[in-house]
Amino acid sequence: MNELFVRLPSVGELYYHHTYLFYDEPLIFSCVSKAMQYFFVLAVPSAPSSDETWLVVPISSGRLSKAEKNAIELRDLITNPETVIFLADRTGTEVSAITIEPSALTDKMLPEAGEYLDYRPVLELLPSPQAPVEQAVVEMRDVIEISLEKDDGHAHELPCLTVVNAIDNIQQLVYALAYKNGGIRGAIPQKIKEDCQLSITGMFAASVGIRLKSDELCDMYLETPLTATLKDLNQLFDAAADKVKLKAFLSEQNPRVAYRFRALLAALIHGKVGIKLNTASPNKNSYTKHYSTKELAKSFALIEAEIEEIVETQSFYGELVGVNVERNTFEFVTTGDEHIRGKMAASIRDSVFSIPQTAEVVVEMRIGQDTMTRTEKILYTLIDVKPIVPGQG
């Protein structure tokens, strides 16, 4: 073990771990016990009867790692502890400790708002000495490592947009996988975005290697809010080359998953890069998969075939405000003032419509591409119109 800091009552011996501020002696530092429990320590003004006083805060290895990368303010480490805060005093050789509530801390005892440890670079620019699963366990975060291989080779440079598009599509795919109850329409809930947000923590040597980690730490069951979704991501990559497995997997997912996965594959194929995926979670689950550009093209064809079959039907109430028989188009305004425009199904093209008309309409929805911008858009097909006559039930 390192040099002994103090023997804290009810806790035991604490040994210096990392020192962040030193002036004649350590003022801000971390310690570790023989049981490998970490503590964040801050020297504070002493009472006249004490020689030295510290705030000693038990801290998980994951939270300490985030603080050392400037992802958490110093003040927040103390005012929002994971468990308790000890106020420790040393008088001569005697050391005492009491617990103290965050609300009892004064400004003189706390760092200024906006201060960080500045201990490690924000990005891990060198290859990590730890495998992804070891990082996940120590930092209590899910880990995703992606290696992008230009022309299936080992070039260490890629166009910026190739990298940005790959990362963005992976994040959007993760959101879609997490939104289990979602459909073709509607925004991803903010809570899902917060729980499943990925952070870029560094790059590593492997063609162009990018390391992503969950923003949240794991709970006592060794799962973060992202862990279950990461398992689904692994299953999707595992099924991507098998038509039967892919169909079975997608049948249990939000329909957006297929579209988001297609977008990822399209971005990789456009950039002419293969991909290697390594994932790991704090519960020690890990996964590895590699796809060459040729294999990605095969998976793209499979997902395209599945997307052709994805159609949602939904009823809307409101007013039918436009029908163009020659162009075979319609426009409908819902009771929520949403404008829906699209094509009419062959089965109703010869119908006679009264415009404007209060009605319940049934539409089919699928996701396609805008012919001008090439961005995703919802394509609507009107398949039924049920007029609503005021006063009739």
Structure confidence by residue, pLDDT tens digits, 291-305:
999 999 999 999 988
Angle made by CA atoms 375, 377, 381, in degrees to the nearest 5: 150
Cα separation of 83 and 81, whole Å? 5
Question: Would you state the pLDDT for residue 104?
Answer: 92
117 in any annotated domain: no
188 and 276, same domain (yes or no): yes
62 in any annotated domain: yes
75 and 19, same domain (yes or no): yes
Question: Would you state the pLDDT for residue 337?
Answer: 93
Joined tokens for residue 164 = 């940005």
30 and 93, same domain (yes or no): yes
216 and 292, same domain (yes or no): yes
What integer best gives the mean pLDDT of the chain?
Answer: 90
36 and 79, same domain (yes or no): yes
211 and 84, same domain (yes or no): no
153 and 262, same domain (yes or no): yes
Element (H, E) at 38: strand 38-44
205 and 257, same domain (yes or no): yes
Question: Would you state the pLDDT for residue 318?
Answer: 95
* 8 A C-beta contact, residue 271 and residue 159: yes
71 in any annotated domain: yes
| Residue 349 lies in domain | 312-387
260 and 345, same domain (yes or no): no
**Measuring CA to CA, which residue among 44, 50, 65, 35 is closest to residue 95?**
50
Question: Would you state the pLDDT for residue 168?
Answer: 95
Burial grade of 247 (CB within 10 A; 0-12, 13-18, 19 or more): middle
Q: How many domains does the chain have?
A: 3
Q: Which of 288, 307, 326 is the last residue of a domain?
A: 307
Structure confidence by residue, pLDDT tens digits, 239-292:
999 999 999 999 999 888 998 999 999 999 999 999 999 999 999 999 999 999
Q: Which of 279, 307, 335 is the last residue of a domain?
A: 307
156 and 294, same domain (yes or no): yes
Question: Would you state the pLDDT for residue 127?
Answer: 56
Q: Which residues pair with 58 in a beta bridge?
A: 39
Question: Would you state the pLDDT for residue 144?
Answer: 96
Place of tokens 């436009």: 322
258 and 170, same domain (yes or no): yes
Query: In this structure, what CATH number is given to the domain that contains residue 356?
Result: 2.40.50.140
Q: Which of 307, 338, 364 is the last residue of a domain?
A: 307
114 in any annotated domain: no
Question: Would you state the pLDDT for residue 393?
Answer: 53
* 8 A C-beta contact, residue 296 and residue 289: no
164 in any annotated domain: yes
Joined tokens for residue 256 = 């957006």
241 in any annotated domain: yes
Burial grade of 132 (CB within 10 A; 0-12, 13-18, 19 or more): buried
| pLDDT-flagged residues of the chain (< 50) | 122, 125-126
Give Cβ neighbours of residue 374 (< 8 Å, ≥ 6 apart): none
Burial string for 316-343 (b: 16+ CB within 10 Å, else e) reads: bebbbeebeeeeeebbbbeeeeeebebb
288 and 328, same domain (yes or no): no
Question: Would you state the pLDDT for residue 353?
Answer: 86
165 in any annotated domain: yes
392 in any annotated domain: no
Could you tell me the end-to-end alpha-carbon distance of the chain, in angstroms, rounded to an integer? 80
Burial grade of 269 (CB within 10 A; 0-12, 13-18, 19 or more): middle
